[in-house]
Amino acid sequence: MCCMAREPWIKLPVYALAQTVGAFLGAGIVFGLYFDAIWAFGANELFVTGANGTAGIFATYPSEHLNSVNGFFDQFIGTAALIVCVLAIVDPYNNPVPRGLEAFTVGFVILVIGTSMGFNSGYAVNPARDFGPRLFTAIAGWGTEVFTACGHWWWIPIIAPFLGAIAGVLVY
Where exactly are the structural domains of the chain? Answer: 2-171
**What pLDDT score does 67 carry?**
94
Secondary element (H or E) of residue 106: helix 102-121
**What pLDDT score does 11 carry?**
85
- Rounded to the nearest integer, the mean pLDDT of the chain is 93
Superfamily, domain 2-171: Glycerol uptake facilitator protein. (1.20.1080.10)
**What pLDDT score does 8 carry?**
85
**What pLDDT score does 116 carry?**
93
Tens-place pLDDT, residues 113-158: 999 999 999 888 889 999 999 999 999 999 999 999 999 999 999 9
Largest interatomic CA distance in the chain: 56
Q: Which residues of the chain register pLDDT less than 50?
A: none
**What pLDDT score does 143 carry?**
96
Asked if 105 and 97 count as a contact pair (C-beta separation under 8 A), the reply is yes
